[in-house]
């Protein structure tokens, strides 16, 4: 695999993400906040997560899924206009208008939900592959907790929902209530899966942060 470019973003908000449609074009970006909030093993684990995204071309996959979902939504929009402008009398009598309208509304919603489910699946896979790559599943779970709690301890960030996929954890509050509509799985599920993976690998590479600190704003000052 070609060595990806690395970019350092001068912001105190901890985050990391990968861009580029292929490993040859990839860039991994980390923020100054991430470099100061995490220890060395946690930074390595986060970089492993982002490398896994690069290896599996997740940026390209996500872009393709978003494009397809957008195209379906646009076709459904055109279809709704076509109902009123292009149906003959026989067609109106043979097919209930309500059924057609309902399908044209539900189809783009289903396409969006599928796209989001794909995104969540890629996050789980990047967690697993990144942890195996670095041998640091516990460090990655600790890093995710620290990043999420750090982000939520800040004043509300002006995050565009369209850029949430560029965050290693969901920066929007209420993620557990709206996981179905999120690009990221819940943090709790990611941490549990990583700790289960640590058991399977027989690798407890770091001292795990107690699960009680999965709740935001409760991370001790020394972490």
Which candidate in 44, 50, 123, 175 is catalytic? 50
Residue 222 lies in a domain: no
Residue 18 lies in a domain: yes
Q: Residue 20: its pLDDT value, please?
A: 80
Chain CA centroid to CA 26, Å: 18
Q: Which domain holds residue 90?
A: 5-214
Give me the helices (H) in the chain, please: 32-37, 40-55, 58-86, 89-94, 97-134, 137-153, 187-201
Please name which of 213, 190, 184, 186 lies closest in space to residue 138, comparing C-alpha atoms.
190
- The structure tokens listed for 88 are 């003959």
**Rounded distance, CA 138 to CA 135, Å?**
9
Residue 223 lies in a domain: no
CB 47 within 8 A of CB 29: no
Residue 209 lies in a domain: yes
Q: Residue 222: its pLDDT value, please?
A: 42
Residue 36 lies in a domain: yes
Task: Say how many domains are in the chain.
Answer: 1
Q: Residue 31: its pLDDT value, please?
A: 94
Q: Residue 72: its pLDDT value, please?
A: 64
Q: Residue 221: its pLDDT value, please?
A: 40
Q: Residue 26: its pLDDT value, please?
A: 86
**Rounded distance, CA 34 to CA 38, Å?**
6
Residues of the chain with pLDDT under 70: 58-115, 117, 155-166, 170-181, 183, 215-223
**Rounded distance, CA 191 to CA 138, Å?**
8
Adjacent-strand bridge partners of 79: none
Neighbours of 99 (CB within 10 A): 9
Q: Residue 217: its pLDDT value, please?
A: 47
Residue 50 catalytic?
yes
Residue 107 lies in a domain: yes
Residue owning tokens 């208008």? 97
CB 3 within 8 A of CB 37: no
- The structure tokens listed for 222 are 């020394």
Residue 167 lies in a domain: yes
* pTM to 2 decimal places: 0.72
CB 19 within 8 A of CB 39: no
- The structure tokens listed for 192 are 């549990």
Residue 220 lies in a domain: no
């Amino acid at each position: 695999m070609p060595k990806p470019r690395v970019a350092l973003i001068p912001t105190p908000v901890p985050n990391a993400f990968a861009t580029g449609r292929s490993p040859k074009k990839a860039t991994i970006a980390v923020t100054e906040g991430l470099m100061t909030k995490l220890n060395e093993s946690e930074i390595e684990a986060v970089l492993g997560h982002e490398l896994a995204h690069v290896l599996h071309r997740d940026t390209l996959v996500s872009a393709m899924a978003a494009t397809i979902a957008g195209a379906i939504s646009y076709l459904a929009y055109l279809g709704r206009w076509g109902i009123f402008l292009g149906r003959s009398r026989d067609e109106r009598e043979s097919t209930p208008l309500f059924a057609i309208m309902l399908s044209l509304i539900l189809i783009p919603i289903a396409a969006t939900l599928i796209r989001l489910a794909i995104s969540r699946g890629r996050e789980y896979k990047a967690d697993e592959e990144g942890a195996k790559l670095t041998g640091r599943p516990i460090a990655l779970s600790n890093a995710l907790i620290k990043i999420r709690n750090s982000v939520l301890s800040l004043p509300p960030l002006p995050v565009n929902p369209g850029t949430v996929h560029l965050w290693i954890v969901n920066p929007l509050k209420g993620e557990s209530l709206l996981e179905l509509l999120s690009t990221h799985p819940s943090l709790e599920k990611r941490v549990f899966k990583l700790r289960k993976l640590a058991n399977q690998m027989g690798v407890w590479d770091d001292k795990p942060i107690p699960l009680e600190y999965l709740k935001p704003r409760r991370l001790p000052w020394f972490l």
